[in-house]
Chains A and B, each alone.
Chain A
C-alpha cells in the first residue's frame, strides 16, 4: 500500500513488476525457469551493489540467509527482487505479514518460517510500508505468483517440493495423506435439477444435473442414460483459452465416466440406471451431468467427483404419471409433476481418491505445483462398502504392481474419511439451504 496524502492504493505484484521493469526499461526476462534470477543478472553491477548497501539487510543479512540450509536458495532471488522494489520506490522496508495467511495452521510449523526469524523487520506502524497486492503475503505464494501461467518451477522450487514430501511436510503444511478442507454449497444453479459447488483450497468446481425425458437405447430398454461432460473454463487457467482446455476436459470426462458409470453395459454403475426408467423400452430420464472447472489448483478429478456426488444428492427428479391405455407402439402421454420430486439415491455413488506419486512417496489431494512434479497418479473410486468402482492411472512412469495394491489399500482408507467428510458437508449445505 502506498500513501500519497490521503490517497491510498494497493498495488498487486504483477502490476508493480510491470511498472518496475518498464521504468528501468528492461525487456521482460524471456526464459521461464527462475525468472527472478534472470532479472537479477540483468541488473548492472553498480545498481546491485548500491542496493545491497542501502537495504536494511545488507550483505551480511543475505549471506546469513544463504547459509541457513539449502531451502534459502529458494528465498534468495525473491529477497533480492523485493529489495530492488523497495529501493525503487524509495521505501526502506518490505513488510510481509505471516500471521494472516489462514492456510497454515501456524507459521512456526512451516519449514520456511525459519528463514524469517530475525531477518525481517517487525510490525512497526511508523515505518513506510509496501504491500504487494492481496496474493503476495507469504513466501511460497510469492514464488509461485512470479511464475504464473502454466506453473513452471525453478530447480530449487522443485527440490523444495520433493524434499517436503519426502519429509512428510508439504508446502502448505499438510502431511502426505491429508486432504485440504472441503467446502460444499448446493443449489447454486436454480435452473438445474440439482447442482453443487465444491471447493478444495484454490480448486473450485461446479457441477449441475439436468434431467430430460428420452428414449432408452434398444440394447438396454430397462435403463436410463447418464452423460457426463466436463468443461474447463478459461477463468481457471489462461491456457484453457479457446480449444486449449479440450484435451483436459475430455480426459476428465472419460475418467469420471469410468469411475461413476461402470462398464459399457452399465454393470457396476454407482448411479442406479434402472431407477431412471419410466416405461420400459419407451421412456426414461436422461441425466446430463455437467461439470465446470472455475478455478484449478490440482486434484480436479477428486473435486469433480465430490461435486457430482453432492449435485446428485441435491437432485430432485419430477414424478411422472404415464397416461394409461396408450397402445403399445405409440409414444405414451406423460404428465410431469411440478410439485412432487423424487430424491435420488446417492448412497452407491463412489468418491474418487487420487494418489499422486512424487519421488518415492505418494500423496493425496495434490496441488498443481505438486502435480507438476508427479511421475504417476492413480485415481481410485471407492464406494461406501469399500468396493473399488474404477481405477485410472495417469502419468508415464511405470509402477510396481505391489505399490499399486498398496495404493489401493491406502485409497480405501482415505476414501472413508473423505466420504464421511463429504456427507456431513452435503448435509450441512442442504440444511443451510432450507433454513
Chain B
C-alpha cells in the first residue's frame, strides 16, 4: 500500500514531517486536583491527577518519596469498531506502566514523601499515538495540579514507511506494520526518558527517525508551555492579581 504519494503527501494530506493538529485544554475534570484534555488529530484523551494525598494502602508507603500510580483505560466508543473490553487487560496494563515510569522520572518525588499521586488517563478517541497523547495529557494535568517536576515531559511518535520517515503516525499508518518509534523527552534537559520501537529498522535510519520524533516532542513542548502560560495568566486575571 502506498502511504506517501509521489507528490509527497500522506493519506490524510499531511507532509511526512508534519504533525497532526494538536489542541490542549486544562481543567476538564473540575473535581480532580489537576486535569487536561489533549488532542492529536482524532486522538483525544483526558487525564486527571489526584494528589499528592494520603496513601490509600499504607503498606505501599515509601518513606523517602511519593508513590506514583497510573491507570490507562479506553472508552468503549473510542475505536472505530465498538468493542467491549474490561479494564486491566494486558495492553492497558502495559501502557499504564509506561506512563507511570515516564511521569515518575520527571516528578520530584523526594519532595513529597509518604504520599501518593494518582494519574488517570482515559482515551475518548483512539486514532494512533494514544501512548504519546496520554503522556502529554498527563504532563499538563500534573502541571495543573501544581506537582513539582524537573521538566515537562512530552512524547511523540515517528515511523518509517515507503522509505520515508514519517512524524506522528495515525491509526492507518500505525497498523501498516512498519517501524513505530515512540519517544518521550525532557525538552529542557535534552534527555530521552521513553523509547519504544517495534519492527526492524537500520541503525542509520533509526537516527533520522529518532531525530524527527525529537523535533516533534520539542514542538509539542513549546505548545504545552504556551497553554500553561495562558492558563496561568487566566488564573492570575481571575484572582485580580
Contacts and interface: CB of A to CB of B under 8 A. Distances in A.
Interface string A162-197: 000000000000000000000000001111100100
Contacts of B76: 229, 231, 288, 290, 292
Contacts of B238: 97, 100
A320 to B, nearest CB: 18
**Chain B contact residues: over half helix, strand or loop, or mixed?**
loop
Contacts of B147: 15
B239 A131 contact: yes
Interface residues of B, number: 54
Nearest to A192: B77
Nearest to A292: B75
B117 to A, nearest CB: 10
Interface string A261-289: 00000000000000000000000000010
A189 B239 CA distance: 35
Interface string A1-25: 1000000111110110011001000
B82 A288 contact: yes
A212 interface: yes
A41 interface: no
Given A22-B114, A148-B50, A241 B71 contact: yes
A242 interface: yes
Contact of B146 (A15, A137, A229): A15
Given A15-B146, A235-B46, A288-B82, A189 B124 contact: yes
B46 A149 contact: no
Nearest to B72: A234
Nearest to B50: A238
Contacts of B78: 191
Contacts of A290: 75-77, 82
Interface residues of A, number: 54
A195 B239 CA distance: 36
B31 A190 contact: no
A334 B121 CA distance: 39
A204 B46 CA distance: 12
Interface string A195-223: 10000001010101010100000000000
A254 to B, nearest CB: 17
Given A10-B146, A149-B53, A231-B76, A295 B30 contact: yes
Given A11-B146, A295-B32, A241 B124 contact: no
B48 interface: yes
Nearest to B126: A191
B27 interface: yes
A123 B50 CA distance: 31
Contacts of B73: 233-234
Contacts of B29: 204, 235-236, 294-295
A243 interface: yes
A325 interface: no
Given A12-B146, A133-B146, A97 B239 contact: yes
B33 A135 contact: yes
Interface of A: 1, 8-12, 14-15, 18-19, 22, 27-28, 97, 100, 123, 129, 131, 133-135, 137, 148-149, 188-192, 195, 202, 204, 206, 208, 210, 212, 229, 231, 233-238, 241-243, 288, 290, 292, 294-297
Ranked nearest first, the 7 interchain pairs of A and B with the lowest CB-CB distance are A235-B48, A208-B77, A12-B146, A202-B30, A295-B29, A234-B120, A290-B76
Given A189-B125, A191-B80, A191-B125, 7 more contacts: A133-B33, A134-B235, A148-B33, A189-B124, A204-B29, A233-B122, A238-B56
